[in-house]
Protein backbone atom coordinates (compact mmCIF):
# COMPACT_ATOMS: atom_id res chain seq x y z
CA UNK A 1 0.00 0.00 0.00
CA UNK A 2 2.81 2.40 0.91
CA UNK A 3 4.54 1.65 -2.40
CA UNK A 4 1.30 2.30 -4.30
CA UNK A 5 0.83 5.69 -2.62
CA UNK A 6 4.41 6.69 -3.45
CA UNK A 7 3.90 5.74 -7.09
CA UNK A 8 0.61 7.66 -7.18
CA UNK A 9 2.26 10.79 -5.76
CA UNK A 10 5.07 10.49 -8.31
CA UNK A 11 2.58 10.04 -11.16
CA UNK A 12 0.53 13.09 -10.10
CA UNK A 13 3.66 15.24 -9.60
CA UNK A 14 5.05 14.22 -12.97
CA UNK A 15 1.84 15.08 -14.78
CA UNK A 16 1.42 18.43 -13.00
CA UNK A 17 4.98 19.39 -13.85
CA UNK A 18 4.46 18.38 -17.47
CA UNK A 19 1.15 20.23 -17.80
CA UNK A 20 0.86 22.20 -21.05
CA UNK A 21 -1.39 25.08 -22.05
CA UNK A 22 -3.19 25.22 -25.40
CA UNK A 23 -4.16 28.72 -26.52
CA UNK A 24 -6.76 28.51 -29.29
CA UNK A 25 -6.31 31.86 -31.06
CA UNK A 26 -8.69 33.46 -33.54
CA UNK A 27 -5.96 35.81 -34.77
CA UNK A 28 -2.24 36.12 -34.06
CA UNK A 29 -0.15 39.20 -34.79
CA UNK A 30 3.00 37.87 -36.45
CA UNK A 31 5.40 40.66 -35.52
CA UNK A 32 8.29 39.06 -37.39
CA UNK A 33 6.55 39.11 -40.77
CA UNK A 34 4.14 41.96 -40.11
CA UNK A 35 0.98 40.00 -40.85
CA UNK A 36 -2.04 38.47 -39.14
CA UNK A 37 -2.42 34.69 -38.85
CA UNK A 38 -5.87 33.12 -38.47
CA UNK A 39 -7.07 30.13 -36.46
CA UNK A 40 -3.92 28.89 -34.74
CA UNK A 41 -3.16 27.07 -31.51
CA UNK A 42 -0.14 28.04 -29.42
CA UNK A 43 1.16 25.25 -27.20
CA UNK A 44 3.01 26.42 -24.09
CA UNK A 45 5.06 24.12 -21.89
CA UNK A 46 6.59 25.51 -18.71
CA UNK A 47 7.73 29.04 -19.68
CA UNK A 48 8.25 28.49 -23.43
CA UNK A 49 6.25 28.32 -26.63
CA UNK A 50 6.87 24.78 -27.89
CA UNK A 51 4.61 24.65 -30.94
CA UNK A 52 2.20 26.64 -33.09
CA UNK A 53 -0.40 24.48 -34.85
CA UNK A 54 -2.89 25.22 -37.62
CA UNK A 55 -6.50 25.23 -36.50
CA UNK A 56 -7.89 24.78 -33.02
CA UNK A 57 -6.02 21.91 -31.41
CA UNK A 58 -6.86 20.27 -28.08
CA UNK A 59 -4.92 17.87 -25.86
CA UNK A 60 -5.58 14.25 -24.92
CA UNK A 61 -4.03 14.91 -21.50
CA UNK A 62 -6.87 15.84 -19.09
CA UNK A 63 -4.41 17.85 -16.99
CA UNK A 64 -3.54 20.21 -19.84
CA UNK A 65 -5.30 23.58 -20.00
CA UNK A 66 -7.20 24.70 -23.09
CA UNK A 67 -7.83 28.45 -23.26
CA UNK A 68 -10.45 29.75 -25.69
CA UNK A 69 -9.14 32.89 -27.40
CA UNK A 70 -11.00 32.23 -30.67
CA UNK A 71 -12.65 35.65 -30.63
CA UNK A 72 -9.48 37.51 -29.60
CA UNK A 73 -6.35 38.85 -31.27
CA UNK A 74 -3.19 37.44 -29.74
CA UNK A 75 0.30 38.97 -29.82
CA UNK A 76 3.61 38.88 -27.95
CA UNK A 77 3.79 40.50 -24.53
CA UNK A 78 4.33 44.24 -24.96
CA UNK A 79 7.55 45.99 -23.96
CA UNK A 80 7.61 49.58 -22.67
CA UNK A 81 11.09 51.13 -22.85
CA UNK A 82 10.40 54.07 -20.55
CA UNK A 83 8.61 53.74 -17.21
CA UNK A 84 9.21 54.79 -13.62
CA UNK A 85 7.86 51.74 -11.82
CA UNK A 86 8.53 52.91 -8.24
CA UNK A 87 6.13 55.81 -8.18
CA UNK A 88 3.30 57.74 -9.78
CA UNK A 89 3.16 61.51 -9.87
CA UNK A 90 0.63 63.35 -7.73
CA UNK A 91 0.66 66.79 -6.07
CA UNK A 92 2.12 65.28 -2.88
CA UNK A 93 5.17 63.83 -4.66
CA UNK A 94 7.46 66.74 -3.77
CA UNK A 95 6.65 66.36 -0.08
CA UNK A 96 7.03 62.58 -0.29
CA UNK A 97 10.78 63.07 -0.74
CA UNK A 98 10.85 64.08 2.92
CA UNK A 99 8.10 61.92 4.38
CA UNK A 100 8.22 58.56 2.57
CA UNK A 101 10.52 55.84 3.88
CA UNK A 102 12.08 53.29 1.54
CA UNK A 103 9.55 50.74 2.78
CA UNK A 104 6.70 53.10 1.84
CA UNK A 105 8.05 53.43 -1.69
CA UNK A 106 8.63 49.67 -1.97
CA UNK A 107 5.11 48.74 -0.87
CA UNK A 108 3.62 51.39 -3.14
CA UNK A 109 5.56 50.09 -6.13
CA UNK A 110 3.90 46.67 -5.87
CA UNK A 111 0.57 47.95 -7.16
CA UNK A 112 2.23 49.84 -10.01
CA UNK A 113 4.04 46.69 -11.09
CA UNK A 114 0.85 44.62 -11.08
CA UNK A 115 -1.16 47.29 -12.91
CA UNK A 116 1.52 47.47 -15.60
CA UNK A 117 1.50 43.71 -16.15
CA UNK A 118 -2.30 43.61 -16.32
CA UNK A 119 -2.15 46.29 -19.02
CA UNK A 120 -0.27 43.79 -21.20
CA UNK A 121 3.27 45.04 -20.65
CA UNK A 122 5.19 41.92 -19.69
CA UNK A 123 8.58 43.68 -19.90
CA UNK A 124 9.60 47.25 -19.05
CA UNK A 125 12.75 49.33 -18.91
CA UNK A 126 12.70 51.39 -15.74
CA UNK A 127 14.53 54.69 -16.25
CA UNK A 128 15.19 56.01 -12.81
CA UNK A 129 14.01 55.89 -9.24
CA UNK A 130 15.59 55.63 -5.83
CA UNK A 131 17.16 52.22 -6.38
CA UNK A 132 14.24 50.31 -4.91
CA UNK A 133 13.43 49.46 -8.53
CA UNK A 134 16.39 47.04 -8.42
CA UNK A 135 14.91 45.14 -5.48
CA UNK A 136 11.49 45.16 -7.14
CA UNK A 137 13.02 43.66 -10.29
CA UNK A 138 14.57 40.87 -8.23
CA UNK A 139 11.39 40.15 -6.25
CA UNK A 140 9.39 39.83 -9.48
CA UNK A 141 12.05 37.59 -11.04
CA UNK A 142 11.87 35.30 -7.99
CA UNK A 143 8.09 35.11 -8.22
CA UNK A 144 7.60 36.80 -4.86
CA UNK A 145 5.44 39.59 -6.28
CA UNK A 146 3.46 40.11 -9.49
CA UNK A 147 4.80 42.41 -12.17
CA UNK A 148 6.55 42.73 -15.51
CA UNK A 149 10.11 41.67 -16.23
CA UNK A 150 12.19 44.74 -15.37
CA UNK A 151 15.41 46.08 -16.85
CA UNK A 152 16.29 49.01 -14.63
CA UNK A 153 18.71 51.92 -14.54
CA UNK A 154 18.47 52.16 -10.76
CA UNK A 155 19.16 55.84 -10.05
CA UNK A 156 19.50 58.13 -13.08
CA UNK A 157 22.70 60.14 -13.57
CA UNK A 158 22.61 63.95 -13.74
CA UNK A 159 24.80 66.95 -12.98
CA UNK A 160 24.75 69.35 -10.02
CA UNK A 161 21.44 71.19 -10.25
CA UNK A 162 20.50 69.10 -13.27
CA UNK A 163 17.32 67.16 -13.95
CA UNK A 164 18.43 64.08 -11.94
CA UNK A 165 19.96 65.95 -8.99
CA UNK A 166 17.83 64.51 -6.15
CA UNK A 167 18.17 67.68 -4.03
CA UNK A 168 16.72 70.18 -6.52
CA UNK A 169 14.25 72.46 -4.78
CA UNK A 170 15.43 71.60 -1.27
CA UNK A 171 16.44 74.30 1.19
CA UNK A 172 20.15 75.01 1.48
CA UNK A 173 20.70 73.24 4.78
CA UNK A 174 19.39 69.96 3.32
CA UNK A 175 21.04 69.99 -0.09
CA UNK A 176 24.53 68.82 0.81
CA UNK A 177 26.78 67.95 -2.12
CA UNK A 178 25.56 64.74 -3.79
CA UNK A 179 28.15 63.01 -5.95
CA UNK A 180 28.58 59.95 -8.19
CA UNK A 181 27.19 57.57 -5.57
CA UNK A 182 23.94 59.55 -5.58
CA UNK A 183 24.04 59.88 -9.37
CA UNK A 184 25.43 63.41 -9.66
CA UNK A 185 28.59 64.01 -11.71
CA UNK A 186 30.70 67.00 -12.73
CA UNK A 187 33.69 65.54 -14.54
CA UNK A 188 34.88 62.69 -16.75
CA UNK A 189 36.15 60.79 -13.72
CA UNK A 190 32.88 61.34 -11.87
CA UNK A 191 31.10 59.96 -14.92
CA UNK A 192 33.05 56.72 -14.81
CA UNK A 193 32.51 56.32 -11.10
CA UNK A 194 28.76 56.92 -11.37
CA UNK A 195 28.39 54.21 -14.02
CA UNK A 196 30.46 51.76 -12.00
CA UNK A 197 28.36 52.57 -8.93
CA UNK A 198 25.19 51.77 -10.89
CA UNK A 199 26.79 48.46 -11.90
CA UNK A 200 27.71 47.76 -8.29
CA UNK A 201 24.16 48.56 -7.20
CA UNK A 202 22.85 46.01 -9.69
CA UNK A 203 21.44 48.21 -12.45
CA UNK A 204 20.90 46.70 -15.91
CA UNK A 205 21.32 49.88 -17.93
CA UNK A 206 22.19 53.56 -17.60
CA UNK A 207 19.97 56.62 -17.77
CA UNK A 208 21.38 60.14 -18.07
CA UNK A 209 19.56 63.47 -18.12
CA UNK A 210 21.32 65.15 -21.02
CA UNK A 211 19.16 68.28 -20.74
CA UNK A 212 16.90 69.98 -18.26
CA UNK A 213 13.53 68.36 -17.65
CA UNK A 214 9.90 69.27 -17.17
CA UNK A 215 9.26 67.75 -13.74
CA UNK A 216 12.35 68.86 -11.83
CA UNK A 217 12.25 71.93 -9.60
CA UNK A 218 14.52 73.94 -11.87
CA UNK A 219 13.82 76.77 -14.27
CA UNK A 220 15.27 75.47 -17.54
CA UNK A 221 13.74 72.39 -19.15
CA UNK A 222 15.93 72.21 -22.24
CA UNK A 223 19.50 73.39 -21.64
CA UNK A 224 22.38 70.91 -22.16
CA UNK A 225 23.64 69.63 -18.81
CA UNK A 226 26.65 67.45 -19.66
CA UNK A 227 29.76 68.16 -21.67
CA UNK A 228 30.35 65.91 -24.66
CA UNK A 229 33.39 64.47 -22.90
CA UNK A 230 31.30 63.53 -19.85
CA UNK A 231 28.72 61.77 -22.01
CA UNK A 232 31.42 59.87 -23.90
CA UNK A 233 32.93 58.80 -20.60
CA UNK A 234 29.56 57.52 -19.39
CA UNK A 235 28.84 55.66 -22.62
CA UNK A 236 32.29 54.13 -22.98
CA UNK A 237 32.24 52.91 -19.39
CA UNK A 238 28.68 51.60 -19.64
CA UNK A 239 29.49 49.64 -22.79
CA UNK A 240 32.48 48.08 -21.03
CA UNK A 241 29.95 46.70 -18.54
CA UNK A 242 27.48 45.56 -21.21
CA UNK A 243 24.96 48.30 -20.50
CA UNK A 244 22.85 50.31 -22.93
CA UNK A 245 22.39 54.03 -22.29
CA UNK A 246 19.19 56.10 -22.38
CA UNK A 247 19.36 59.87 -22.57
CA UNK A 248 16.51 62.04 -21.36
CA UNK A 249 16.77 65.06 -23.69
CA UNK A 250 14.43 67.87 -24.71
CA UNK A 251 16.77 70.57 -26.06
CA UNK A 252 18.52 70.22 -29.40
CA UNK A 253 22.12 70.82 -28.29
CA UNK A 254 21.83 68.21 -25.53
CA UNK A 255 20.27 65.76 -27.98
CA UNK A 256 23.18 66.15 -30.36
CA UNK A 257 25.81 65.73 -27.65
CA UNK A 258 24.06 62.58 -26.45
CA UNK A 259 23.91 61.06 -29.93
CA UNK A 260 27.55 61.83 -30.71
CA UNK A 261 28.55 60.69 -27.22
CA UNK A 262 27.19 57.22 -27.92
CA UNK A 263 23.81 56.77 -26.19
CA UNK A 264 21.50 53.98 -27.33
CA UNK A 265 18.18 55.83 -27.09
CA UNK A 266 16.97 59.42 -26.96
CA UNK A 267 13.97 59.86 -24.67
CA UNK A 268 11.38 62.59 -25.45
CA UNK A 269 13.54 64.44 -28.01
CA UNK A 270 11.03 67.28 -28.01
CA UNK A 271 12.99 70.07 -29.69
CA UNK A 272 15.15 68.00 -32.04
CA UNK A 273 16.14 69.71 -35.26
CA UNK A 274 16.64 68.27 -38.74
CA UNK A 275 20.35 68.06 -37.91
CA UNK A 276 19.59 65.93 -34.84
CA UNK A 277 17.37 63.68 -36.93
CA UNK A 278 20.17 63.15 -39.44
CA UNK A 279 22.60 62.41 -36.60
CA UNK A 280 20.22 59.81 -35.17
CA UNK A 281 20.06 58.09 -38.54
CA UNK A 282 23.84 58.29 -38.95
CA UNK A 283 24.59 56.86 -35.49
CA UNK A 284 21.71 54.37 -35.44
CA UNK A 285 20.25 55.95 -32.31
CA UNK A 286 16.70 54.95 -31.37
CA UNK A 287 14.02 57.48 -30.52
CA UNK A 288 11.64 56.81 -27.59
CA UNK A 289 8.98 59.53 -27.97
CA UNK A 290 6.81 59.27 -24.76
CA UNK A 291 3.94 61.19 -26.37
CA UNK A 292 1.49 60.18 -23.64
CA UNK A 293 3.60 61.83 -20.96
CA UNK A 294 3.81 65.05 -22.96
CA UNK A 295 0.06 65.24 -23.36
CA UNK A 296 -0.69 64.26 -19.76
CA UNK A 297 1.65 66.80 -18.13
CA UNK A 298 0.35 69.58 -20.39
CA UNK A 299 -3.20 68.84 -19.23
CA UNK A 300 -2.30 68.55 -15.55
CA UNK A 301 -0.37 71.83 -15.71
CA UNK A 302 -3.69 73.59 -16.26
CA UNK A 303 -4.84 72.48 -12.78
CA UNK A 304 -3.84 75.11 -10.26
CA UNK A 305 -1.45 73.73 -7.64
CA UNK A 306 -0.97 70.34 -9.28
CA UNK A 307 2.69 71.11 -10.14
CA UNK A 308 5.29 73.41 -8.60
CA UNK A 309 5.24 76.89 -10.13
CA UNK A 310 8.60 76.21 -11.85
CA UNK A 311 7.18 73.11 -13.56
CA UNK A 312 4.00 74.63 -15.00
CA UNK A 313 5.48 76.80 -17.81
CA UNK A 314 7.79 73.96 -18.88
CA UNK A 315 4.91 71.47 -19.00
CA UNK A 316 2.76 73.84 -21.03
CA UNK A 317 5.57 74.64 -23.47
CA UNK A 318 7.26 71.27 -23.96
CA UNK A 319 4.51 68.68 -23.49
CA UNK A 320 2.34 69.51 -26.51
CA UNK A 321 5.28 69.43 -28.93
CA UNK A 322 6.36 65.80 -28.54
CA UNK A 323 3.75 64.30 -30.89
CA UNK A 324 4.66 66.58 -33.80
CA UNK A 325 8.36 65.90 -33.21
CA UNK A 326 7.65 62.17 -33.32
CA UNK A 327 5.78 62.57 -36.62
CA UNK A 328 8.73 64.41 -38.14
CA UNK A 329 11.30 61.89 -36.88
CA UNK A 330 9.27 58.87 -38.01
CA UNK A 331 8.70 60.25 -41.49
CA UNK A 332 12.42 60.99 -41.79
CA UNK A 333 13.31 57.36 -41.06
CA UNK A 334 14.54 57.51 -37.45
CA UNK A 335 14.31 54.15 -35.66
CA UNK A 336 11.39 54.22 -33.22
CA UNK A 337 11.22 52.35 -29.90
CA UNK A 338 7.96 52.29 -27.94
CA UNK A 339 8.09 54.06 -24.58
CA UNK A 340 5.42 55.88 -22.61
CA UNK A 341 7.02 57.42 -19.46
CA UNK A 342 4.36 55.84 -17.23
CA UNK A 343 4.80 57.06 -13.68
CA UNK A 344 4.86 60.66 -14.81
CA UNK A 345 1.15 59.92 -15.34
CA UNK A 346 -0.89 56.97 -13.95
CA UNK A 347 0.46 53.49 -14.63
CA UNK A 348 -1.70 51.15 -16.67
CA UNK A 349 -2.67 53.51 -19.48
CA UNK A 350 0.62 52.94 -21.33
CA UNK A 351 -1.39 51.63 -24.29
CA UNK A 352 -2.55 55.15 -25.16
CA UNK A 353 0.86 55.63 -26.73
CA UNK A 354 -0.10 53.36 -29.64
CA UNK A 355 -3.00 55.62 -30.60
CA UNK A 356 -0.91 58.76 -30.42
CA UNK A 357 1.80 57.21 -32.59
CA UNK A 358 -0.73 56.03 -35.16
CA UNK A 359 -2.58 59.36 -35.12
CA UNK A 360 0.32 61.12 -36.84
CA UNK A 361 1.23 58.53 -39.44
CA UNK A 362 2.81 55.36 -38.03
CA UNK A 363 0.96 52.23 -39.23
CA UNK A 364 -0.50 50.19 -36.36
CA UNK A 365 1.54 47.11 -37.24
CA UNK A 366 4.72 49.18 -36.99
CA UNK A 367 3.55 50.59 -33.66
CA UNK A 368 3.12 47.04 -32.34
CA UNK A 369 6.49 45.99 -33.78
CA UNK A 370 8.15 48.92 -32.01
CA UNK A 371 6.78 47.58 -28.70
CA UNK A 372 7.83 44.00 -29.42
CA UNK A 373 10.64 43.05 -31.81
CA UNK A 374 12.33 46.47 -31.81
CA UNK A 375 12.44 46.78 -28.04
CA UNK A 376 13.45 43.13 -27.60
CA UNK A 377 16.41 43.78 -29.90
CA UNK A 378 17.52 46.88 -27.97
CA UNK A 379 17.45 44.81 -24.77
CA UNK A 380 19.45 41.99 -26.47
CA UNK A 381 16.44 39.71 -25.96
CA UNK A 382 15.61 39.29 -29.64
CA UNK A 383 15.91 35.50 -29.39
CA UNK A 384 13.56 35.29 -26.40
CA UNK A 385 10.98 38.08 -26.53
CA UNK A 386 8.88 40.01 -29.02
CA UNK A 387 7.57 37.15 -31.18
CA UNK A 388 5.02 34.35 -31.05
CA UNK A 389 7.52 31.73 -32.12
CA UNK A 390 8.67 28.27 -31.09
CA UNK A 391 11.43 28.43 -28.48
CA UNK A 392 10.53 31.95 -27.35
CA UNK A 393 9.50 32.82 -23.79
CA UNK A 394 5.72 32.50 -23.42
CA UNK A 395 4.91 36.17 -22.89
CA UNK A 396 1.55 36.39 -24.65
CA UNK A 397 -1.30 38.91 -24.51
CA UNK A 398 -4.65 39.27 -26.24
CA UNK A 399 -7.11 42.03 -27.06
CA UNK A 400 -10.87 41.93 -27.58
CA UNK A 401 -10.61 43.33 -31.10
CA UNK A 402 -8.05 43.32 -33.89
CA UNK A 403 -5.84 46.35 -33.16
CA UNK A 404 -5.15 46.79 -36.87
CA UNK A 405 -8.82 47.76 -37.19
CA UNK A 406 -9.16 49.47 -33.80
CA UNK A 407 -5.95 50.70 -32.18
CA UNK A 408 -7.72 51.69 -28.95
CA UNK A 409 -8.25 48.01 -28.11
CA UNK A 410 -4.57 47.99 -27.06
CA UNK A 411 -5.63 50.11 -24.10
CA UNK A 412 -7.70 47.22 -22.76
CA UNK A 413 -5.74 43.96 -22.90
CA UNK A 414 -8.00 41.07 -21.81
CA UNK A 415 -5.51 38.19 -21.52
CA UNK A 416 -2.00 38.22 -20.06
CA UNK A 417 0.48 35.35 -19.86
CA UNK A 418 4.03 35.89 -18.67
CA UNK A 419 6.56 33.06 -18.75
CA UNK A 420 3.76 30.55 -19.22
CA UNK A 421 1.74 31.71 -16.21
CA UNK A 422 -1.70 33.22 -16.84
CA UNK A 423 -2.24 36.42 -14.85
CA UNK A 424 -5.34 37.74 -16.60
CA UNK A 425 -8.01 35.87 -18.53
pLDDT at site 64: 96
CA separation for the pair 19, 46 (Å, rounded): 8
pLDDT at site 10: 46
CB 251 within 8 A of CB 314: no
Tell me the backbone φ, ψ of residue 271, rounded to 5 degrees. Answer: -105, 25
CA separation for the pair 304, 45 (Å, rounded): 53
CA separation for the pair 412, 187 (Å, rounded): 46
Identify the band that residue 285 occupies on the pLDDT scale cut at 50, 70 and 90. very high
Looking at the predicted structure, is the pLDDT value of residue 18 above 70? no
Looking at the predicted structure, is the pLDDT value of residue 8 above 70? no
pLDDT at site 2: 54
Closest-CA residue to 23 (of 385, 417, 386): 417
Length of the chain: 425
Closest-CA residue to 294 (of 359, 347, 251, 353): 353
Q: Where in the chain is the domain with CATH 3.20.20.140?
A: 78-378
CB 183 within 8 A of CB 162: no
Cross-strand partners of 22: 43, 66
In sequence order, which residues have a C-beta less than 8 Å from that of residue 336 and are 6 or more positions away? 286, 287, 288, 289, 326, 329, 330, 357, 362, 366, 370, 374
Question: What mean pLDDT comes out for the span 280-286?
Answer: 98
Closest-CA residue to 97 (of 170, 182, 179): 170
What pLDDT digit, counting tens, does each position of 126-150 carry? 999 999 999 999 999 999 999 999 9
Q: Where in the chain is the domain with CATH 2.30.40.10?
A: 2-76+388-424
Three-state SS letters, 311-375: HHHHHHHHHHHHHHHHHHHHHHCCEECCCCCECCCCCCCCCHHHHHHHHCCCCHHHHHHHHHHHH
pLDDT at site 215: 85
Looking at the predicted structure, is the pLDDT value of residue 105 above 90? yes
CB 156 within 8 A of CB 211: no
pLDDT at site 5: 52
CB 40 within 8 A of CB 28: yes
CA separation for the pair 164, 156 (Å, rounded): 6
Question: What mean pLDDT comes out for the span 111-125?
Answer: 98
CB 210 within 8 A of CB 225: yes
pTM, whole model, 2 decimals? 0.94
What CATH number was assigned to the domain covering residues 2-76+388-424? 2.30.40.10
Looking at the predicted structure, is the pLDDT value of residue 6 above 90? no
Q: What percent of the chain has pLDDT over 70?
A: 96
Helix (H) or strand (E) holding 384: none
Three-state SS letters, 109-157: HHHHHHHHHHCCEEEEEECCCCCHHHHHHHHHHCCCCCCCEEEECCCCE
Closest-CA residue to 269 (of 241, 299, 290): 290
Identify the band that residue 225 occupies on the pLDDT scale cut at 50, 70 and 90. very high
What pLDDT digit, counting tens, does each position of 386-399 carry? 999 999 999 999 99
CB 30 within 8 A of CB 390: no
When the pLDDT of each residue in the chain is averaged and rounded to a whole number, the result is 94
CA separation for the pair 338, 331 (Å, rounded): 16
CA separation for the pair 1, 385 (Å, rounded): 48
CATH 3.20.20.140 fits 78-378, yes or no: yes
What pLDDT digit, counting tens, does each position of 292-346 carry? 999 999 999 899 989 888 889 988 988 889 999 999 999 999 999 999 999 999 9
pLDDT at site 11: 45
Looking at the predicted structure, is the pLDDT value of residue 349 above 50? yes
What pLDDT digit, counting tens, does each position of 36-72 carry? 999 999 999 999 999 999 999 999 999 999 999 999 9
Amino acid sequence: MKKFICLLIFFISFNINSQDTYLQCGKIIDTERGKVLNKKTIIVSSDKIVAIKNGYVSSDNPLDKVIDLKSKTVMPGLIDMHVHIESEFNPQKYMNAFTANDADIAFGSLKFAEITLMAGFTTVRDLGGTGINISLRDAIAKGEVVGPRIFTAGKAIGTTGGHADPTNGWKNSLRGDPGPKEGVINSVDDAKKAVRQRYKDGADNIKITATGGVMSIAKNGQNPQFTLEEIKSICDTAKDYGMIIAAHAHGDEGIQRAIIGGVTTIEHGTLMSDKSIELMKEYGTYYVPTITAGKEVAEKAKIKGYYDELVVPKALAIGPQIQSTFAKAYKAGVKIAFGSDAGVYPHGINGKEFGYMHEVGMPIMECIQSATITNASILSMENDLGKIKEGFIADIVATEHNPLDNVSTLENVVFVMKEGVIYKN
